[in-house]
Amino acid sequence: MGKPLHILLIEDDMNTCNRISNYIATKDNMDLVGVTNNSYVGIQYVQHTLPDAVILDLELHHGGGNGLFFLSDLNKLGLEKKPYILVTTYNSSKITLESARRLGADFILGKYEEAYSPESAVDFLEQLLPMIEIAESSNTSYMKDTQKDLEQGLIRRIHRELDLIGISPKVVGYKYLTDAIMITIDAPTTNISQILGNKYKKSNSSVERAMQNAINRAWNSNDTETLLNCYTAHINPDRGMPTIKEFIYFYAEKITDGR
């Protein structure tokens, strides 16, 4: 038996995700490498796993972004081998569907069609299996390079956001906040201070103090309008500025959602 077809699922309906996941689990010639309801996270999955095919929902109302954003961002990656894109959608707009095709969708399955089911999307890919070029192990080094490029892009975006609210690279908390947001984007954890303390050989309290001082300085030195435009999350009026956790989670979500 040859190498299984690696499939990425970008879908915001939990029932559909479960059905497709369970159905693929019964197949020896297929493997589900990731599931997400967010088009931006989908791009991360592509960079990290180099799937052979993507089942892409155009509307991601319960996630982030949409299928067209994903296709557009996928084109910007400049991949040597693009995955086969199977779009599934309730949208019947000719303009929208033509836009998807122009952006690189290989085939579109209408969810409104009588013959459609989540399993039928998997069956469709299975029929095309001999024709879809499966990524070889020689792509491993390329995958590492693209992962590094992705991380550098995220870091640049975080730095832009910190610069906008006046947190200077000269402040010690700048690098801690950058790392903390990166960690939260990748895998949220309650042990951020400990992770950073171990990395920089500092105590947890000194890491937390540096991050909070950087946040406090931004809120004390910037005008209110700038802060409200950049940081739109609720702030406890008694504190007047976000906590470390609130700050980190806000920017991790903001960057992940591509806002």
Q: Does 136 have pLDDT greater than 70? A: no
Q: Hey, how many other C-beta atoms are within 10 angstroms of the C-beta on 213?
A: 13
Q: Does 61 have pLDDT greater than 70? A: yes
* pLDDT at res. 138: 43
* Contact of 150 with 76, CB cutoff 8 Å: no
The mean predicted confidence, pLDDT, of the chain is 88
Identify whether residues 202 and 242 lie together within a single domain: yes
Q: Does 27 have pLDDT greater than 60? A: yes
pLDDT tens digit sequence for 138-197: 444 555 555 566 778 888 889 999 999 999 999 999 999 999 999 888 777 788 899 999
Q: Does 1 have pLDDT greater than 70? A: no
3-state secondary structure the chain: CCCCEEEEEECCCHHHHHHHHHHHCCCCCEEEEEEECEHHHHHHHHHHHCCCEEEEECCCCCCECCHHHHHHHHHHHCCCCCCEEEEEECCCCHHHHHHHHHCCCCEEEECCCCCCCHHHHHHHHHHHHHHCCCCCHHHHHHHHHHHHHHHHHHHHHHHHHHHHCCCCCCCHHHHHHHHHHHHHHHCCCCCHHHHHHHHHCCCHHHHHHHHHHHHHHHHHHCCHHHHHHHCCCCCCCCCCCCCHHHHHHHHHHHHHHCC
User: Which residue among 81, 109, 135 closes a domain?
Assistant: 135
- Give pTM, 2 decimals: 0.54
User: Which residue among 81, 105, 135 closes a domain?
Assistant: 135
Q: Which residue has the higher pLDDT, 90 or 3?
A: 90
Identify whether residues 105 and 152 lie together within a single domain: no
**With pLDDT > 90 as the criterion, what percentage of the chain qualifies?**
61
Identify whether residues 210 and 106 lie together within a single domain: no
CATH of the domain at 200: 1.10.10.10
Identify whether residues 120 and 148 lie together within a single domain: no
Q: Which residue has the higher pLDDT, 240 or 258?
A: 240
pLDDT tens digit sequence for 65-105: 899 999 999 998 888 889 999 999 999 899 999 999 999 99
CATH of the domain at 15: 3.40.50.2300
Total structural domains in the chain? 2
Identify whether residues 163 and 49 lie together within a single domain: no
Identify whether residues 118 and 225 lie together within a single domain: no
Identify whether residues 73 and 170 lie together within a single domain: no
Q: Hey, how many other C-beta atoms are within 10 angstroms of the C-beta on 83?
A: 23
* pLDDT at res. 72: 93
Identify whether residues 99 and 183 lie together within a single domain: no
To the nearest 10 degrees (0 to 180), the angle between helices 244-257 and 39-49 is 80
Identify whether residues 98 and 60 lie together within a single domain: yes
Give the mean model confidence (pLDDT) for residues 229-250.
92
Identify whether residues 9 and 131 lie together within a single domain: yes
User: Domain limits at 252?
Assistant: 142-257
Identify whether residues 61 and 170 lie together within a single domain: no
User: Which residue among 83, 112, 135 closes a domain?
Assistant: 135
Identify whether residues 206 and 230 lie together within a single domain: yes
